């Protein structure tokens, strides 16, 4: 029993030679192990019933070994779950980054020569494709019927009407994206669109009475400085370029800022109105994300169709809905629709932090690719601005540990 006693003594914080004291220490350690491992039979020892030291040692070692084995199994299962979530999160981050970057570059490529086609037609067709894709998913993947869609819209008709505001904001953003990228390069556009973080925070403070952390205030200041630096860099380049037009650059910047402002309003409206009036009778398991996509697409089609009928009816009547539509323009429409559905399907694996990082990475990647694809001039002022924007996004989406470290 020499090796067994040596193991028992090594488990104790110090060597206790008296038999009674050693037995009391052993009972405390066994009872502690049994309390930390409640799912199995507790190894409770009584000083009167356990008189055999050898039996006490065996039971103590059995309790400790069982506890250690259960602890290692728990650690392995939790680590495997964490790795799966991390892998899915990284895939979602990669997909969001690539989609945001590709969309901006593609629209810039289409609108660089300022083709004369209707942006309302592009947005309308994109929403029609989304509606068809969502309905197809419900019918053929989820094996549901058209009646289930009608039932969902009827049960959630209040939220369906409330979606008019975010639908209008989304249509406005898509229309202004064509206007902005027709007048400014994709690098500057991607940076200015990061100011939606500033507008969202300001609207949340005003309308939702939210309090910002000090690190978030610092990040918003850095974000504002970064956007201003990138604007200064682009204004200087447009002055050096004899073919550049200051008015067109101002129009593009105004359109990009309008996108950011409408995004902030829509985010606050969604959190304040739609989430607050969520129908509790509707089961999320019965109606998934595809039903919400149908709901939003219908409202977008209604609002954009109304706008096109009022504003562009004369042009549509004379030249048709798809006048001057090129194959690249059609590709941008399909990309906005299909890419939007794919991104929406992976958002459950990406929280707000990952989405913030994706937009920051997309802005950086768009600037670099814009340099090689369109010959965009990227000077030192632009890189100072993009660094400020990147740091601002990281700080704003940082966790509490980063907040305590900085403050």
Looking at residue 79, its pLDDT comes to 41
Residue 197, pLDDT > 90, answer: no
Give the model confidence (pLDDT) of 28-39 as tens digits: 665 665 555 444
Give the model confidence (pLDDT) of 372-403 as tens digits: 998 888 888 888 988 998 888 888 877 666 66
Q: Comparing 170 with 238, which gets the higher pLDDT? A: 170
Looking at residue 121, its pLDDT comes to 92
Looking at residue 350, its pLDDT comes to 65
Which residues fall within 8 angstroms of residue 406, CB to CB, at 6 or more apart? 214, 215, 218, 395, 398
The dihedral sign for the CA sequence 284, 290, 296, 298: negative
Closest CA relative to residue 175, chosen from 359, 317, 312: 312
Q: Comparing 74 with 65, which gets the higher pLDDT? A: 65
Highest mean pLDDT of the ranges 1-5, 130-134, 156-160, 361-365: 130-134
> In the structure, how many helices (H) and strands (E) does the chain have?
17, 0
Q: What are the structure tokens assigned to 275, written together?
A: 């989430």
Contact assessment for residue 174 and residue 297, using Cβ atoms and an 8 Å cutoff: no
Contact assessment for residue 223 and residue 197, using Cβ atoms and an 8 Å cutoff: yes
State the Cα–Cα distance between residues 226 and 372, nearest whole angstrom: 22
Residue 42, pLDDT > 70, answer: no
In the chain, where the domains are located: 86-236+248-404
Lowest-pLDDT choice from 30-44, 228-242, 288-302, 375-389:
30-44
Looking at residue 157, its pLDDT comes to 87
Residue 203, pLDDT > 70, answer: yes
The confidence band for 300, taking pLDDT boundaries of 50, 70 and 90, is very high
Give the model confidence (pLDDT) of 87-129 as tens digits: 777 787 788 889 889 999 999 999 988 888 899 999 999 999 9
Looking at residue 61, its pLDDT comes to 53
State the Cα–Cα distance between residues 368 and 375, nearest whole angstrom: 10
Q: Which residues of 33-62 are buried (b: 16+ CB within 10 A; e: fewer)?
A: bbeebeeeeebebeeeebeeeeebbebbee
The confidence band for 1, taking pLDDT boundaries of 50, 70 and 90, is very low
296, HSE (Cβ side, Cα atoms, 13 Å)? 22
Q: What are the structure tokens assigned to 106, written together?
A: 């593609």
Which residues fall within 8 angstroms of residue 405, CB to CB, at 6 or more apart? none
The dihedral sign for the CA sequence 342, 345, 347, 349: negative
Q: What distance lies between CA 285 and its chain's CA centroid?
A: 22
Contact assessment for residue 165 and residue 349, using Cβ atoms and an 8 Å cutoff: no
Looking at residue 243, its pLDDT comes to 54
Task: Tell me what percent of the residues of the chain surpass a pLDDT of 90.
Answer: 29
Look over the chain and give the mean of its residue pLDDT values, rounded to a whole number: 78
Looking at residue 376, its pLDDT comes to 86
């Amino acid at each position: 029993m020499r090796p067994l006693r040596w193991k028992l003594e090594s488990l104790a914080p110090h060597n206790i030679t008296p038999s009674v004291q050693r037995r009391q220490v052993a009972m405390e350690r066994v009872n502690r192990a049994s309390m930390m491992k409640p799912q199995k039979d507790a190894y409770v020892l009584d000083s009167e019933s356990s008189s055999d030291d050898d039996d006490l040692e065996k039971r103590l070692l059995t309790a400790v070994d069982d506890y250690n084995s259960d602890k290692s199994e728990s650690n392995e299962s939790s680590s495997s779950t964490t790795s799966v979530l991390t892998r899915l999160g990284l895939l979602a981050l990669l997909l969001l980054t690539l989609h945001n970057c590709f969309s901006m570059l593609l629209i810039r490529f289409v609108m660089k020569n300022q083709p004369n086609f209707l942006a309302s037609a592009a947005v309308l067709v994109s929403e029609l494709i989304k509606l068809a894709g969502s309905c197809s998913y419900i019918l053929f993947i989820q094996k549901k019927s058209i009646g289930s869609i009608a039932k969902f819209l009827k049960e959630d008709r209040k939220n369906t009407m409330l979606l008019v505001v975010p639908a209008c904001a989304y249509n406005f953003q898509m229309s202004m994206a064509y206007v902005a990228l027709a007048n400014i390069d994709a690098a500057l556009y991607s940076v200015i669109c990061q100011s939606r973080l500033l507008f969202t925070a300001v609207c949340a403070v005003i309308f939702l009475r939210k309090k910002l952390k000090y690190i978030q205030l610092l990040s918003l200041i850095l974000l504002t400085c970064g956007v201003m630096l990138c604007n200064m860099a682009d204004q200087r380049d447009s002055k050096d370029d004899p073919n550049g037009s200051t008015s067109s650059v101002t129009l593009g910047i105004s359109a990009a800022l309008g996108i950011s402002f409408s995004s902030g309003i829509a985010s606050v409206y969604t959190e304040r109105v739609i989430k607050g009036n969520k129908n509790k009778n509707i089961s999320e398991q019965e109606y998934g994300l595809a039903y919400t996509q149908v709901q939003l697409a219908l409202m977008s089609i209604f609002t954009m169709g109304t706008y096109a009928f009022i504003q562009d009816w004369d042009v549509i009547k004379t030249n048709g809905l798809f006048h001057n539509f090129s194959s690249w323009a059609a590709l941008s429409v399909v990309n906005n629709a299909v890419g939007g559905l794919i991104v929406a399907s992976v958002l459950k694996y990406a929280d707000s932090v990952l989405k913030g990082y994706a937009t920051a990475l997309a802005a950086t990647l768009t600037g670099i690719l814009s340099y090689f694809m369109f010959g965009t001039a990227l000077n030192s002022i632009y890189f100072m601005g993009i660094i400020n924007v990147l740091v601002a996004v990281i700080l704003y989406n940082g966790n509490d540990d980063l907040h305590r470290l900085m403050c």
